[in-house]
Chains A and B, each alone.
Chain A
Amino acid sequence: MMASSYLQIEQVAMDFTRGDLTSHVLQNVNLKVEQGEYISIIGHSGCGKSTVLNIVAGLLRATSGVVILDGKEVNDPGPDRSLVFQNHSLLPWLTVYENVAIAVNKIFKHSKSAAERHQWILKNLEMVNMSHALHKRPAEISGGMKQRVGIARALAMEPKVLLLDEPFGALDALTRAHLQDEVMRIQSELKNTVLMITHDVDEAVLLSDRIVMMTNGPSATIGEILDIDLPRPRNRITLTDDPTYNHYRHQVLSFLYEKQRKVDVVAIA
Chain B
Amino acid sequence: MNSRASIDNASAMSLAVNKTDAGVIKKSLSKTAGKWKDFLLSRFLPPLIVMTILVAIWEITCSGPEASLPSASAMVEQSWELIVHPFYDNGGNDVGMAWQILASLERVAYGYLLAVIAGVSLGVLVGQSTWAMRGLDPVFQVLRTVPPLAWLPLSLAGFQDSHPSAIFVIFITAIWPIIINTSVGVRNIPEDYRNVARVIRLNGFEYFRQVMLPSAAPYIFSGLRIGVGLSWLAIVAAEMLIGGVGIGFFIWDAWNSSLISDIILALIYVGIVGFILDRMVAFIGNRVTRGTSAS
Interface residues of A (CB under 8 A from B): 57-59, 76-79, 81-83, 85, 87, 89, 91-93, 102-103, 106-107, 137-139, 157
A91 partner residues in chain B, CB cutoff 8 A: 193, 196, 210-211, 214-215
Cβ-based interface call for B206 (8 A): yes
A79 and B196 contact, CB distance less than 8 A: no
Q: When each residue 204-247 of chain B gets 1 if its CB lies under 8 Å from chain A and 0 otherwise, what string results?
A: 00100011001101000000000000000000000000000000
B202 partner residues in chain A, CB cutoff 8 A: 106
With A85-B192, A87-B192, A106-B206 known to touch, is A92 a contact of B295 (CB < 8 Å)? Answer: yes
A78 partner residues in chain B, CB cutoff 8 A: 199, 201
A57 and B206 contact, CB distance less than 8 A: no
B289 partner residues in chain A, CB cutoff 8 A: 93
Beyond A79-B200, A106-B202, 12 extra complex contacts between A and B, CB < 8 Å = A57-B195, A57-B199, A59-B198, A59-B199, A77-B199, A79-B201, A92-B293, A93-B290, A106-B200, A138-B294, A139-B294, A157-B200
Q: Which of B112-144 contact A (CB under 8 A)?
A: none
State the CA gap A78–B202 with chains docked (Å): 10
State the CA gap A77–B202 with chains docked (Å): 11
A106 and B201 contact, CB distance less than 8 A: yes
State the CA gap A197–B289 with chains docked (Å): 34
Q: Which of B266-295 contact A (CB under 8 A)?
A: 289-295
With A89-B192, A139-B295 known to touch, is A103 a contact of B214 (CB < 8 Å)? Answer: no
Least CB distance, A104 to chain B, in whole angstroms = 9
8 pairs from A and B in contact (CB 8 Å cutoff)? A83-B195, A91-B210, A92-B292, A93-B215, A93-B290, A106-B201, A106-B202, A157-B200
A77 and B294 contact, CB distance less than 8 A: no
A89 and B190 contact, CB distance less than 8 A: yes
A83 partner residues in chain B, CB cutoff 8 A: 195, 199
Interface residues of B (CB under 8 A from A): 190, 192-193, 195-196, 198-202, 206, 210-211, 214-215, 217, 289-295
State the CA gap A137–B193 with chains docked (Å): 16
State the CA gap A87–B290 with chains docked (Å): 21
State the CA gap A107–B201 with chains docked (Å): 8
Q: Whose C-beta in chain B lies nearest to the C-beta of A95?
A: B291
Most chain B beta carbons < 10 A, residue from A57, A93, A107: A93
Q: Whose C-beta in chain B lies nearest to the C-beta of A104?
A: B200
State the CA gap A139–B206 with chains docked (Å): 24
B291 and A93 contact, CB distance less than 8 A: yes
A93 and B214 contact, CB distance less than 8 A: yes
B198 partner residues in chain A, CB cutoff 8 A: 58-59, 76-77
Least CB distance, B4 to chain A, in whole angstroms = 19
State the CA gap A107–B135 with chains docked (Å): 37
With A91-B211, A93-B214 known to touch, is A79 a contact of B199 (CB < 8 Å)? Answer: yes
State the CA gap A106–B202 with chains docked (Å): 7
Least CB distance, A45 to chain B, in whole angstroms = 18
Contact of A77 among B193, B201, B290 (CB under 8 A): B201
A85 partner residues in chain B, CB cutoff 8 A: 192, 195-196
A106 partner residues in chain B, CB cutoff 8 A: 200-202, 206
B193 partner residues in chain A, CB cutoff 8 A: 89, 91
A138 and B295 contact, CB distance less than 8 A: yes
Least CB distance, A78 to chain B, in whole angstroms = 6
State the CA gap A53–B95 with chains docked (Å): 71
Q: Whose C-beta in chain A lies nearest to the C-beta of B203?
A: A106
A107 and B211 contact, CB distance less than 8 A: no
For the complex of A and B, 4 pairs with smallest distance between CB atoms: A89-B192, A139-B294, A77-B198, A93-B214
Contact of B292 among A59, A93, A102 (CB under 8 A): A93
B196 partner residues in chain A, CB cutoff 8 A: 85, 89, 91, 103
Contact of A92 among B199, B200, B206, B291 (CB under 8 A): B291
State the CA gap A136–B206 with chains docked (Å): 23
Q: Whose C-beta in chain A lies nearest to the C-beta of B196?
A: A89
Q: Whose C-beta in chain B lies nearest to the C-beta of A79?
A: B200
Q: Whose C-beta in chain A lies nearest to the C-beta of B293?
A: A92
A137 partner residues in chain B, CB cutoff 8 A: 291, 294
B201 partner residues in chain A, CB cutoff 8 A: 77-79, 106-107
Most chain B beta carbons < 10 A, residue from A81, A92, A157: A92
B199 and A82 contact, CB distance less than 8 A: yes
A138 partner residues in chain B, CB cutoff 8 A: 291, 294-295
With A106-B200, A107-B200 known to touch, is A89 a contact of B292 (CB < 8 Å)? Answer: no
Least CB distance, B68 to chain A, in whole angstroms = 55
B192 partner residues in chain A, CB cutoff 8 A: 85, 87, 89
Least CB distance, A231 to chain B, in whole angstroms = 34
Q: Whose C-beta in chain A lies nearest to the C-beta of B214?
A: A93
State the CA gap A85–B197 with chains docked (Å): 13
Q: Whose C-beta in chain B lies nearest to the C-beta of A85?
A: B192
State the CA gap A40–B258 with chains docked (Å): 84
Q: Whose C-beta in chain B lies nearest to the C-beta of A102?
A: B210
B199 partner residues in chain A, CB cutoff 8 A: 57, 59, 77-79, 81-83, 157
State the CA gap A83–B199 with chains docked (Å): 8
Most chain B beta carbons < 10 A, residue from A57, A76, A78, A89: A89
State the CA gap A138–B217 with chains docked (Å): 17
